[in-house]
A and B are shown apart, each in its own frame.
Chain A
Amino acid sequence: MKSPIIKCHKLDYSYAGKVALSNISFEVTTAEPIGLVGPNGAGKSTLLSILCGFLQNASGIVTLYGHRPGAAALSGRVAALPQDAQLDPTFTIGEQLSFYARLQGLSAQQAQLEASRVLEAVALQDSLKEKPGALSHGMAKRAAIAQALIGKPELILLDEPTAGLDPANTRKIRSIIAELSPATTFIISSHDLTELGRLCQQILLLDKGMMNTMQLNASAADQPTRFLTLQMEPCPITEVLAKFKQISGIVGISNPQKNELIIKYNSAIEAKMDVKIISCINDNNWQYRQLSQGKTLEEKLFFDEA
């Protein structure tokens, strides 16, 4: 029988008596990108560090492809972007990436080609002969992502991959992840929920050391109660709410943020509620910025009461 990509069973971990992870159990079997979210101090980096084999003495069962974290059999199969890890300032980026590639079993010539390939993938091909000290924060982050791409690993664990990156490079990283999936499975820890919403089908939510799993693609087609998220341009919000409440089928409207509305409706009464909403906006000469099906990921994860 094929082993799951990741298996955690009753995982506990404490730092100097303080519980960081408590009774965490989950399995990753799909090759689609998986998001790992949670507030600061929830244990995301701890969990990724345990999966990488950086932290010892965790209790419970943790396996990656059937092997314990850090096992020699995982070398080249599992890669990671650890949080705040930096390359050695003594050597050039190219020398270090080639060395890592050689440790993964590539010949000297293949290793040099691989170093160039992964640097090109993160748009750092000109930095091959630069030392890490010469790179900006964003460039250093991309160089660290490049090391995770060496040898086309099967599983890549990314801890805050886009933190500190400009929008162009964030998009570049997103396209790399989309391009390599599902041949490579990505576990992405991030606070950028829009980013995760775009990339991931499954979200692991960690809070106070406890974990919940959420499928983002769970079909709502057979459920009568559905949601729309509407972002309006500046508008008379009281009037907008009053008008929308008159539309038949709308069960409730909330206004979680300025000019943002979450509309709860019954699809059995009005299946094309989005068309109705846009008609209402047009009839009243208001402007809207975005209308999307369902709730935002942030709303689903942290503020969902329905």
Chain B
Amino acid sequence: MSPGFLKHLSLICQFELKRLFSTRKGLLYLITFALIWYFILLYPIRFAADFLGQQQHTLEGKGFFEFIGFGSLLNWKIPELGVYWHFSLILFPLLAVMISADQTCSDRERGTLRFLCLRVSRDGLFFGRFSGIMLTQALLIFASLLSTLALILYRDASLLPIALDSASAIWLSLFIALLPFTAMMAALSATVQSARQATVWAILIWSFLAGIISLLSSYLPALNNLKLLIPGYQMSALSQLAEWQTLQLAYIPLLQTFVLLSIGRWIMRRQNL
């Protein structure tokens, strides 16, 4: 008997994890990711956290951070996680675009998708790949947070309960923030012929769509609400929030994900293989 939708989803997710952890390309990606985070931890996070720790209790220090636009860093109970949060809001969306640009396009061009679609529905394949990439990213966020926690505990082991609580908030908020980026790439990947094209389209969508909406909203201000549909729209506001408050804006990426996945599913169902 053919397995159901959820079983297919789980099998495709497992295969995507295998792609990351047991293929040469995946391992190369992991090594690059680990190296980037090693340097971020070693220099920006460690030094910035030391600096913040010294300055956050002085009036001048607070004023300085407010002045340069990083006042929100002081709202974090643990400085390392505050710095991590700011870095990850820039770095992870970029990584999300890179890692998820080729969800279906090269398989479609090569004809591999034909082998798969004889065994699994297009919905199963589309959502399976999306879930697999999200699971991969969830693990990568978890790994980077774990290394940051290790750095915090090395400094002060008594911070473990607070650090765990803050790290959980970050993990969940980041996971939600990455959903629309991955959903956008899923939709683009279902349309274009290569990962490179999908990335170029993503950049065009960000720059042109934001520009066009800004232009149109100068005539009709109500149109400014359309910016809600651009992945990453809430990022600058999100960087000003700390701890569990970061979930206050979760409705935006969730709404974007719903819309983008619906578009992607529509494309995938109508696409010739």
Contacts and interface: CB of A to CB of B under 8 A. Distances in A.
B122 A70 contact: yes
B25 A90 contact: yes
Contacts of A3: none
Q: How large is the interface on A (under 10, 10 to 19, 20 to 34, 35 or more residues)?
A: 20 to 34
5 contacts: A56-B272, A75-B118, A76-B119, A87-B112, A90-B19
A79 interface: yes
A91 interface: yes
B2 A85 contact: no
A88 B3 contact: no
A47 to B, nearest CB: 14
Interface in B118-144: 118-122
B247 interface: no
B120 A103 contact: yes
A26 interface: no
Interface string A211-249: 000000000000000000000000000000000000000
B23 A90 contact: yes
A91 to B, nearest CB: 7
Interface in A31-75: 49, 52-57, 70, 72-73, 75
Interface in A77-103: 78-80, 82, 84-88, 90-91, 95-96, 99-100, 102-103
A282 interface: no
A103 B116 contact: yes
Interface in A113-147: 144, 147
Contacts of B19: 90-91
Contacts of A144: 115
Interface string B1-19: 1110000100100010011
B4 to A, nearest CB: 9
A54 B25 contact: no
Interface of A: 49, 52-57, 70, 72-73, 75-76, 78-80, 82, 84-88, 90-91, 95-96, 99-100, 102-105, 144, 147
Contacts of A105: 1-3
A48 B2 CA distance: 22
Among A73, A80, A85, A103, the one with the most B-chain Cβ atoms within 10 Å of its Cβ is A103
Contacts of A104: 2-3, 119
Given A54-B273, A57-B270, A75 B2 contact: yes
Contacts of A56: 269-272
B196 interface: no
B111 A85 contact: yes
Nearest to A57: B270
B23 A91 contact: yes
B235 to A, nearest CB: 32
B72 to A, nearest CB: 41
Among B1, B107, B110, B114, the one with the most A-chain Cβ atoms within 10 Å of its Cβ is B114
A147 B1 CA distance: 18
A100 B110 CA distance: 17
Contact of A80 (B15, B23, B118): B118
A102 B11 contact: yes
B30 interface: no
Contacts of B115: 82, 85, 87, 96, 100, 144, 147
B157 interface: no
Contact of A88 (B8, B112, B119, B271): B112
